[in-house]
């Protein structure tokens, strides 16, 4: 007869498993505070390989914890707070949220705003100018994008992804040509809810995301090399402060050219074409301007970068654009008191509602419904 286990053995084994689970959870929490190559992603892999099971959801929860524990406004005590520009690319479908995006940018910056710039296709400029009035200066895409870059887009980018890629090129192209110390780039469907200090004392805020879309990192690796791509976080946050000098240095490195200046439009175009050419467009979402910039800045200026929490939330339902017309920043702040921004994705605009979201802060077991890194086809 098989040897009988002592009474209570089963409960002892169960207790041991529970102890191991708790220790692993503490290990994950510790990893969420570690930056760099020994940070959350590595800790998650160690646990997964050691115990043969996923104690957290595919690294997403680890990144969520890491992002949620970053400070909200780490540059709030900065003394030298220079003026910055705000740049928002948009098309007609963004009109319902454009007013809110502009207002959110105005209220969401401790840095003085030197000017608001909205960039749209030439055929949309008149309608958008009428909509925004004196709140922003509206320019045509053709003033930012060169024919050479447009021709390359038309040649290598699938038609269903063209507008999405053009929006990214506009952001990098405008910032590279700016003479401002910083440009706060914001997607037209994203509304900032809280004030932050974006640039102070030579250091810039860099928001990090919970998502990780591997092709974005692969694109950076192809374009700038392994050292720049070696980041275990995502920077796809639907808004980001970009320093023109840093963008020009990034494009210069990616194209192998001399250090660019704002007036070097031809060389900037070469840099943009190299950035575009490094992408694998057999993939639905092959590159990200936000992730490229964040990875470059982390590599090139780590001591002049202050990582901050993202805290973005995606409401579920707004049935009509008329509801956007009546919406106010104060309402969004009241509905989402812990969120720092709200994103109303245009492809879901008929299915949003206020007052409901799966966003959860500060819990290891949170499951977040957030704005995804990977938009569907246009």
Residue 44 shares a structural domain with residue 103:
no
Q: Residue 48 has what pLDDT? A: 41
Q: Which two tokens stand for residue 308?
A: 């901050």
Instruction: Please state, in angstroms and rounded to a whole number, the distance separating the CA atoms of residues 111 and 83.
Output: 5
Domain assignment present for 222: yes
Show which of 273, 308, 343 is a domain's final residue. Answer: 308
Domain assignment present for 132: yes
312-313 and 341-343 strand pairing: parallel
Q: Which two tokens stand for residue 184?
A: 């706060």
Q: Residue 325 has what pLDDT? A: 64
Residue 41 shares a structural domain with residue 125:
no
Residue 2: C-alpha distances to residues 5, 12, 14 (Å): 9, 20, 21
Residue 111 shares a structural domain with residue 44:
no
Helix or strand run (H / E) with residue 86? strand 84-89
What CATH number does the domain containing 125 carry? 3.90.550
Q: What are phi and psi of 293, to 5 degrees?
A: -65, -45
Q: Residue 99's domain spans which residues?
A: 84-308
Residue 90: C-alpha distances to residues 77, 84, 102, 141, 282 (Å): 33, 20, 12, 10, 25
| Strand positions, DSSP E, 90-194 | 113-120, 137-140, 183-186, 190-192
Residue 122 shares a structural domain with residue 29:
no
Candidates 48, 108, 110; CA nearest to 76 is 110
Q: Residue 16 has what pLDDT? A: 59
Number of domains in the chain: 2
Instruction: Please state, in angstroms and rounded to a whole number, the distance separating the CA atoms of residues 359 and 338.
Output: 9
Would you say 59 and 159 are in contact if contact means Cβ atoms under 8 Å apart?
no
Show which of 256, 279, 308 is a domain's final residue. Answer: 308
Q: Residue 320 has what pLDDT? A: 40
Residue 46 shares a structural domain with residue 121:
no
Domain assignment present for 157: yes
Residue 332 gets the label, from left (phi > 0), alpha (psi -120 to 50) or beta, of alpha
Residue 261 shares a structural domain with residue 188:
yes
Q: Residue 114 has what pLDDT? A: 98
Domain assignment present for 276: yes
Show which of 280, 308, 336 is a domain's final residue. Answer: 308
Residue 184 shares a structural domain with residue 55:
no
Residues composing the chain:
378
Residue 52 shares a structural domain with residue 123:
no
Residue 14 shares a structural domain with residue 143:
no
Domain assignment present for 106: yes
Q: Long-range contact list for 140-147, CB < 8 A, 24+ apart?
A: 141/89, 141/166, 141/170, 143/119, 144/119, 144/170, 144/173, 144/174, 144/177, 145/169, 145/170, 145/173, 146/265, 146/269
Q: How many CB atoms lie within 10 A of CB 330?
A: 10
Residue 237 shares a structural domain with residue 298:
yes
Domain assignment present for 266: yes
Cα Rg of the chain (Å, integer): 22
Residue 28 shares a structural domain with residue 118:
no
What is the pTM (predicted TM-score) of this model? 0.77
Candidates 271, 251, 288; CA nearest to 146 is 271
Domain assignment present for 375: no
Instruction: Please state, in angstroms and rounded to a whole number, the distance separating the CA atoms of residues 200 and 246.
Output: 15
Instruction: Please state, in angstroms and rounded to a whole number, the distance separating the CA atoms of residues 134 and 136.
Output: 6
Domain assignment present for 242: yes
pLDDT tens sequence for the chain (378 residues): 445 545 555 555 555 555 655 565 555 455 544 444 444 444 544 444 444 344 334 455 666 677 767 888 999 999 999 999 999 999 999 998 999 999 999 999 999 999 999 999 999 999 999 999 999 999 999 999 999 999 999 999 999 999 999 999 999 999 999 999 999 999 999 999 999 999 999 999 999 987 778 899 999 999 999 889 877 788 999 999 999 999 999 999 998 876 777 778 889 999 999 999 999 999 989 999 999 999 999 999 999 999 998 889 887 655 444 466 667 888 889 888 989 999 987 655 444 344 434 332 222 222 223 334 455 444
Q: How many CB atoms lie within 10 A of CB 335?
A: 18
Residue 130 shares a structural domain with residue 225:
yes
Give CA torsion, residues 133, 237, 286, 155, to 10 deg: 10
């Amino acid at each position: 007869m098989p040897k009988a286990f002592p009474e209570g053995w089963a409960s002892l084994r169960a207790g041991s498993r529970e102890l191991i689970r708790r220790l692993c959870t503490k290990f994950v929490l510790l990893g969420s505070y570690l930056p760099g190559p020994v940070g959350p992603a590595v800790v998650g892999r160690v646990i997964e390989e050691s115990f043969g099971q996923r104690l957290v959801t595919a690294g997403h929860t680890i990144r969520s914890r890491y992002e949620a524990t970053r400070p909200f406004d780490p540059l709030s005590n900065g003394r030298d707070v220079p003026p910055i520009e705000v740049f928002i690319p948009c098309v007609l479908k963004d009109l319902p949220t454009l007013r809110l995006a502009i207002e959110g940018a105005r209220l969401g910056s401790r840095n003085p705003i030197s000017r608001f710039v909205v960039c749209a296709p030439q055929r949309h400029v008149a309608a958008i100018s009428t909509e925004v009035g004196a709140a922003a200066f509206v320019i045509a895409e053709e003033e930012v994008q060169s024919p050479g870059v447009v021709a390359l887009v038309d040649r290598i980018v699938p038609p269903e992804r063209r507008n999405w890629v053009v929006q990214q090129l506009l952001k990098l192209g405008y910032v590279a040509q700016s003479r401002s110390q910083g440009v706060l780039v914001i997607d037209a469907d994203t509304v900032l809810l809280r004030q932050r200090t974006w640039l102070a004392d030579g250091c810039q805020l860099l928001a990090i995301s919970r998502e990780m879309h591997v092709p974005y990192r692969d694109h950076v690796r192809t374009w700038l090399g392994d050292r720049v791509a070696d980041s275990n976080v995502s920077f796809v946050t639907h808004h980001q402060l970009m320093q023109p000098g840093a963008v020009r240095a990034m494009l210069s490195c990616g194209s192998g050219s001399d250090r660019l200046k704002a007036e070097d439009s031809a060389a900037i175009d070469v840099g943009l074409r190299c950035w575009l050419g490094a992408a694998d467009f057999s993939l639905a979402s092959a590159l990200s301007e936000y992730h490229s910039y964040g990875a470059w800045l982390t590599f090139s200026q780590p001591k002049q970068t202050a990582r901050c929490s993202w805290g973005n939330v995606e409401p579920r339902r707004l049935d009509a654009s008329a509801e956007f017309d009546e919406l106010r920043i104060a309402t969004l702040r009241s509905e989402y008191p812990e969120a720092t921004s709200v994103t109303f994705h245009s492809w879901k605009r008929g299915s949003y509602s206020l007052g409901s979201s799966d966003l959860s802060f500060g819990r290891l077991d949170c499951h977040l419904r957030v704005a995804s890194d990977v938009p569907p086809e246009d």
